[in-house]
Each structure stands twice: as structure tokens, then as C-alpha cells.
Amino acid sequence: MKLSQFKALTFDCYGTLIDWEAGLAAALQVWAKRHGLARTDDALISEYGHVEHAVETEHPGMIYSQLLGEVLRRMAKAAGKPCSEEEARAFGDSIKDWPAFPDSREALAYLKRHYKLVILSNVDRASFAHSNARLGDVFDAVVTAQDVGSYKPDPRNFDAVIAAVAKLGVAKAEILHTAQSLFHDIEPGKRHGLATCWINRRAGKAGKGATPNPMGGKPTPDWEFPTLAAMAAAHKAGG
């Protein structure tokens, strides 16, 4: 297979295009330091990832910005620390401040010349609008958890994005699902019969970060790159 054989790239956003771990850590540290909780960034985002998946499973229809507030409440309770409604709301609103990876915007602009670009994200529409602006507003379609009523890795989210891409005139076999999370994207994408490209943003880092481990063992993506820039360079080189 070659990258050039595909006609659409379906993207996870947070962790792949937007540096959600940096954004999460910054927002969580504001709360933690306010209440005298000494935790490393890695410890906070690891705990966040564990709690987030539980809340998404229990409340698949909850808006993501509200879901973040519930995650913080549960983290606070587990740590024996307070979490006010204002703090929960501020954490949910922090999505607008999460930075893009330095290579994302330029790489997307290049890839836009060769593919339809579609977002499949565990987010809500209003929150994604801020990230979309950071990334250059290049997407041909956007599918969010709010639209579907469930969170990845639920198969309904992948059904929804395949249907959205079909409306753009692109068949399932012509989609390359491109993402950082093995748990949320690569593993379920492969189960859906999609070709997959792993943007391994955590290459060389210890731990699993903010994402749970894959349920079926480490899946094997069709491609792996450390950055989106490296993927764009491989396409440019004819890979």
C-alpha cells in the first residue's frame, strides 16, 4: 500500500493534532496547586485518562466540556480535595486553550491538497470550533461525540464517520484513519476494516499518558510516524 492510494484521511484531533496532554496538564495543575496537591503532569494525565473513560462509558450522551467537569470532580474526590462548580466549569472550558502541535497546521495544509480531511473526535461542536481555528479550518466534514451520542472506541462513531466520508464521494476502502490513540482509534479502526496510520506522538516517552491501553493487545497499524509532518514528508516522497 501507498499513502497516495487513499482519497480521505479521517483524523482524531486531541492527541493527534492538538496537544491535549499539555492542555490537560496545564489546566489540572491550576486546580492541583490551588489545593496543595503535589502531582507531576504525568501522574495527573494518567489519572485523568482512567477516569475519563469511565465517565464516557457511563454517560455517552454527555457534552464533552461537561464531561471534563465530572472527571475533575471524581479526581478531586479520590484525592480528598475539593472541586467547586466554578473549577469544574473552568476545566471544561480549558479545551479552547489547548495548543496545536507545532507541525499540525502546516502538515494539514499540505495534506489538504491531496485528500479530503475529516475529523472524528470525542468532543463537542462548540469546543472543537476553537481547535478548528488553530488548525486552519481545513476539514471537509466533522463528526463529534456530540453528533453521534457516544464516545470512541464505540463502533457507532466509526459507522458515523464512514457515512460522512461516503457523502463526500469516498468509499470505505479509500479512507486512512490517522490518529495517536491505539485505544480510541487504531484498534477500533482496524476492527472496522479501516486502514490505519498511527501518529505516535508519545514515542520515547515513559508511561501511557492520558489514554488507556488497547483492550486486545497492541494493534499493528498500517503506518507509523512520530509526527504529522513526518507523514506529510513520506507522502511527498512517494511513500
113-151: pLDDT as tens digits: 999 999 999 999 999 999 999 999 999 999 999 999 999
Reply yes or no on domain 20-97 having CATH 1.10.150.750: yes
The phi, psi pair for 47, rounded to 5°, reads -65, -40
Type of residue found at 104:
S
Task: Please tell me which residue in 12, 19, 103, 154 is annotated as part of the active site.
Answer: 12
- State pLDDT tens for residues 208-227: 788 888 877 788 999 999 99
- State pLDDT tens for residues 164-191: 999 999 999 999 999 999 999 999 999 9
Residue 188's contacts (CB-CB under 8 Å, 6 or more residues apart) are: 152, 153, 154, 155, 158
Helix, coil or strand: residue 195: strand
Locate the domains of the chain by residue range: 3-19+100-236, 20-97
Please tell me the CATH code under which domain 3-19+100-236 is placed. Answer: 3.40.50.1000
pLDDT of residue 52: 96
Copy the grid coordinates of residue 160. 458515523
103 is annotated as an active-site residue = no
What is the arrangement of strands in the sheet containing 223-225, beginning at the earlier edge strand? Answer: 141-144, 116-121, 8-11, 175-179, 195-199, 223-225
Q: Cα–Cα distance between 218 and 225 in angstroms, integer?
A: 16
Give the predicted TM-score (pTM) of the model: 0.95
Report whether pLDDT(20) > 80: yes
Interior/surface letters 222-237, b for 16+ CB within 10 angstroms, e for the rest: bbebebbbbbbebbee
The phi, psi pair for 33, rounded to 5°, reads -70, -35
Q: Cα–Cα distance between 28 and 131 in angstroms, integer?
A: 19
The phi, psi pair for 217, rounded to 5°, reads 85, 170
Q: Other C-beta atoms within 10 Å of 76: how many?
A: 19
Treating both helix axes as pointing N-terminal to C-terminal, what angle do 20-34 and 64-79 enclose, rounded to 10 degrees? 40
Residue 84's contacts (CB-CB under 8 Å, 6 or more residues apart) are: none
Type of residue found at 99:
P
Q: Cα–Cα distance between 140 and 34 in angstroms, integer?
A: 41
- In whole numbers, what is the pLDDT of the chain averaged over residues? 96
Report whether pLDDT(104) > 90: yes
Instruction: Assign 3-class secondary structure to 98-160.
Output: CCECCCHHHHHHHHHCCCEEEEEECCCHHHHHHHHHHHCCCCCEEEEHHHHCCCCCCHHHHHH
